[in-house]
Amino acid sequence: MQGSANGSVRLPLYVDGNAASEKWVMLIGINLAVLLPIGHQSMIGYFDGKTFVADASDVYDPTKVPADSTVFEDFESTCSTFEELGWTATGDFVCSGPRKASTVNAGKIKGYLGNGIMTTCLSGGTGTGSIVSPKFTITEDYISFLIAGGYYPYNPVTAGTPEDNQVSMNLVVDGKVVHSQTGTNTENLVWRSWNVAGWVGKEAYLIVTDVNPGPSAHLHIDETVFSNSPKDEANWNDFGPDYYAAATYNGLPNSERTVVGWMNNWAYANDIPTSTWRSAMSISRTLALKTINNKVRLVRNPHNFSALKCGETEVNVPAPYNARMKLALMFTRGTGTKFGVCLRSNATITQETVIGYDFLGQNVFVHRFKSGNSSFVDSERNAFPGYFMATMPTKPTDLIEQRQLR
């Protein structure tokens, strides 16, 4: 297999299957990634045997906001309170306001635009409360923003209860949280984009909630904009927390590349309470370069194992571990938004993993707040529970139909 100790792989691929049009791809596994505790991204470019040079179209400038965007809030008024900006604060954040980024958390914050940011890192980082934006009507398809801080996601099961420990920014429509984003255990601000096309014309507001007094449990928010396109980000090969150190197989022609990744995360890999093994390898993926919307992109598909011939094997799994699977019809036409499959559900539905699609949010998601025992995760590396999603817009005609049904 091809790879290296730092999880990077370089390989050639043909563009659109044309042997006369070859490019190189760099696959990079990143520990302490900006998207998740670990991450895996790719770059397309040129390799001369010694130096890899990424194509200009694959390099993104984090200082540039999306084209034709409207700034909702940039938090540059560091002499004003949130109330003076039209926001409403509760708890320890009452009478506070945007701060100079260079003075917050000993000046550790990076990636901010201008000087000011919103932060819940007050009172030595132990402050709690909420900061709520003015209401606004959604008129564009995306909300993009810069965010950093600790990983303490909004959990719909515990929100508002004594077990709630979220530190997150949420989008609320019709009284319900429809999008949420927490930090990634880093002080480096990174862009996040929410697809909100399904709620165009609806009234909404943003709420930053910090109910965790832990010193690392804080959130920083900067430039928040509305636009009809998302902010360009790095080319992530996976949007879940368990894909790292991917490697490809030798001996395949340049038109055929198969990659497999380590299905785990260093944030909790050594603590998972299983034996005699921990974790596994991912499903193998076939790689290809294809021209999509006039840009060469890396395309990944599950490897075709249809040629494998396997005999039938009956496996008896003792209770309470016998697999239970149910189809969850989580929406009715015109009133709801989600459809999914609940895996390993128990009789009381206190344990299950949900994999599904959010039609209004335009994303595939994995909901694993109730995916068995996660007590092995400590409060400083709380990366196992969560709601992980990847944007996957449906056809424009489908979206128009969704709007009409509302």
φ/ψ region of 246 (left if φ > 0, alpha if ψ in -120 to 50, else beta) reads beta
Average pLDDT over the chain reads 83
Per the model's pLDDT, the better-predicted residue between 125 and 20 turns out to be 20
Location of each CATH 2.60.120.560 domain in the chain:
325-405
Location of each CATH 2.115.10.20 domain in the chain:
8-60+236-302
Q: What band does 380 get if pLDDT is binned at 50, 70 and 90?
A: low
Predicted pLDDT of residue 161: 94
Predicted pLDDT of residue 324: 44
State mean pLDDT over 41-56: 92
pTM for the full predicted model = 0.83
Q: What band does 403 get if pLDDT is binned at 50, 70 and 90?
A: very low
Strand partners, 280: 263
Location of each CATH 2.60.120.200 domain in the chain:
70-227
CATH 2.60.120.200 fits 70-227, yes or no: yes
Q: What share of the chain has pLDDT > 90, as a percent?
A: 42
Predicted pLDDT of residue 15: 94
What confidence tens digit (pLDDT) does each residue in 210-229 have?
Answer: 999 988 899 999 999 999 98
CATH 2.115.10.20 fits 8-60+236-302, yes or no: yes
* Choices 3.30.2420.10, 3.65.10.10, 1.10.3720.10, 2.60.120.560: CATH for 325-405: 2.60.120.560
Compute CA distances 254 → 14, 19, 50, 53, 320, whole Å: 7, 8, 19, 19, 47
State mean pLDDT over 192-209: 95
What confidence tens digit (pLDDT) does each residue in 256-271 have?
Answer: 899 999 998 888 888 8
341: pLDDT strictly greater than 60: yes
Predicted pLDDT of residue 82: 93
Q: Residue 253 corresponds to which amino acid?
A: P
378: pLDDT strictly greater than 90: no
Q: What angle do CA 166, 186, 192 make, to 5 degrees?
A: 70
State mean pLDDT over 19-23: 91
